[in-house]
A and B are shown apart, each in its own frame.
Chain A
Amino acid sequence: MDADSDVALDILITNVVCVFRTRCHLNLRKIALEGANVIYKRDVGKVLMKLRKPRITATIWSSGKVICTGATSEEEAKLGARRLARSLQKLGFQVIFTDFKVVNVLAVCNMPFEIRLPEFTKNNRPHASYEPELHPAVCYRIKTLRATLQIFSTGSITVTGPNVKAVASAVEQIYPFVFESRK
């Protein structure tokens, strides 16, 4: 098996986190009273609202900042955020959908081979950090992409990055290094 040959790797996006602002103050008690699928966390001052389609959980603060998690693609995240803004509009708030940004993408990828972690760490200092006493995976950071990869001995890799493109590039970048230390 040659590292340069085309290997189709399935990168499965498991979570996309995005934020947006409503540019207006939100009355959390009103949302808790009049909104369905809502949990009011009075002690921390936020409201959790869950949408069914797309399956998204939103954290809403009274300042108008909203964080949405649970989407499986950037487009789905945007749609979910807009749906949420719409539902807030229906509740009577003067919502303007602004400052939408995808802040974090979590994806999982499976390599078709096992990986020797001690060897991989030795070959990839200082980017790689392996502490079996703390965590079973190697933590590899790519500064330029602001991405972090967790590489397990089974070949499974968990990637977090600021957007889907960064995540895909990270996987592409790590493949040759991981291939070197394969079993």
Chain B
Amino acid sequence: AHYAQQQLVCAACGCVLAEGLLTTTYADEEHLREVAYSQSTGQKEQLSRCLLRGIRRVQDLCKVLQLPTVFEETAVSYFQRALQHPSFHLVSLEKKELLGGCCVFVTCRQHNWPLTMGTICSLLYAKQELFAGVYLSLQKELELSVPALSLADLVTTHLNSFQLFQHGADIPAAFVEDKEKMVARTMQMVELASETWLVTGRHPIPVVTAAAFLAWQSLQPAGRLTCPFARFCKLAGVDLPPPAHLRLKELLDILLRMASQLAWLKVFKLDKKTVVKHIGDLLQHRIFLLKNAFCLEGEEEQRAAGEGSAGESSPSSPAPSGEAAQEPSAGKRQREGGRRPLLPPCLLNPRKRLRTAALSPADAALTGDEPISDSEMEQYLRSPEEMRALRKAKAWP
């Protein structure tokens, strides 16, 4: 500790009259400056260099991300615990560097602070596969419970990095948008996406980017419909991740189907551009529209079976009522034709997979202990001519 000794000094000649009056009273020490333990030599002497460097890295990361102090303390404690664990103590320096980032990432997730792996990996200049490995083993070894990434918070945070909310030199006046409106509409689009199987199992950021683009276009369609997705991302100062184009297509497909159920839009033949103008209405009535535009597979079968029986019974009944019975069922079938089951996109266009056929009866009766004849094994041996040719070709001794 830093300590100053009081000495009694003669005012005339300056010689020391009395010293060594060690005291620990608070009155004597109140003039001393308070030095934090982490900055004094005391901590440096007790902790290893690796641990010190790692703790400093964790603290720097927290400062860069502007995280609250509580996060920093938690992350440092996780880091210290992890480094004492045998599975992290002896790993390469590269992994130890990543460990600090993983601790910060886990802390953020536990406090529902929306930090993505992509952000942390870019701050650490790390490969995502290596980061993923260290993260999963950290979770396992320290038995940490990490809650899921909160999509709502992610929308707010991601949109904060968009540069479309203030007028700037590069941004046309018509492109500037109000932040609150944009966040609200993007949130609704993302909720729609998660209800229609577009979010489960996918990277969250491309979904949010595509939803933000559609929300932005729909708030002022007049000037913005001609702006392509790539240009939007460039103006906003945000990366365009490759899957975002596919997410955009999927979202537009969902919106088109919903629009086909909205009474005042049925007359229009909407396409991918024109449906954007009506996104406000579609989002407002989305619960009703989703129910009508999509159906569960089980319901579809039941209704088809019901229709079949209705169709059979109509010829037997008298003509007018028979026709009346047929018309609504025909109308229903037409609406049914537009409907599609609400499934994850990969199930809608299933790619044909070559699956090995089920075991044939002969194979199923295998025991593994059948005798093996010599003739079967001949096919796995080269003939002498082949061997000679091979020796010559490869010049083996």
Give the B-binding residues of A (Cβ under 8 A): 10, 12, 14, 29, 33-37, 49, 51-52, 72-79, 82-83, 86-87, 90-91, 114, 116-118, 121-122, 125-126, 129-134, 136-137, 152-154
User: What is the CA–CA distance of A121 and B204 in the complex, to the nearest angstrom?
Assistant: 17
Q: Which residue of B lies closest to A121 (CB)?
A: B148
Q: Which residue of A lies closest to B117 (CB)?
A: A133
Residue numbers in B under 8 Å from A77 (CB-CB): 368
- B interface, how many residues as a size bin? 35 or more
Selected contact of B368 from candidates A75, A116, A121, CB within 8 Å: A75
- Docked-complex contact B381 and A76, CB < 8 angstroms: no
Q: Which residue of A lies closest to B116 (CB)?
A: A133
- Docked-complex contact B117 and A154, CB < 8 angstroms: no
Selected contact of A129 from candidates B139, B370, B376, CB within 8 Å: B139
- Docked-complex contact A87 and B377, CB < 8 angstroms: yes
- Docked-complex contact A33 and B391, CB < 8 angstroms: yes
- Docked-complex contact A114 and B343, CB < 8 angstroms: yes
- Given A35-B380, A82-B372, A125 and B145 touching (CB < 8 A)? yes
Give the A-binding residues of B (Cβ under 8 A): 116-118, 128, 132, 136, 139, 143, 145, 148-149, 197, 199-204, 343-344, 346-347, 355-356, 358-359, 363, 366-370, 372, 374, 376-382, 386-387, 390-391, 396
- Docked-complex contact B372 and A86, CB < 8 angstroms: yes
Residue numbers in B under 8 Å from A86 (CB-CB): 372, 377
- Given A153-B344, A154-B344, A154-B347, A36 and B379 touching (CB < 8 A)? yes
- Docked-complex contact B381 and A90, CB < 8 angstroms: yes
- Docked-complex contact A33 and B387, CB < 8 angstroms: yes
Residue numbers in A under 8 Å from B396 (CB-CB): 29, 33
- Given A77-B368, A126-B145, A153-B197, A33 and B203 touching (CB < 8 A)? no
- Docked-complex contact A79 and B370, CB < 8 angstroms: yes
- Docked-complex contact B368 and A78, CB < 8 angstroms: yes
User: What is the CA–CA distance of A33 and B202 in the complex, to the nearest angstrom?
Assistant: 49
- Docked-complex contact B380 and A76, CB < 8 angstroms: no
Residue numbers in A under 8 Å from B200 (CB-CB): 116-118, 132, 136, 153
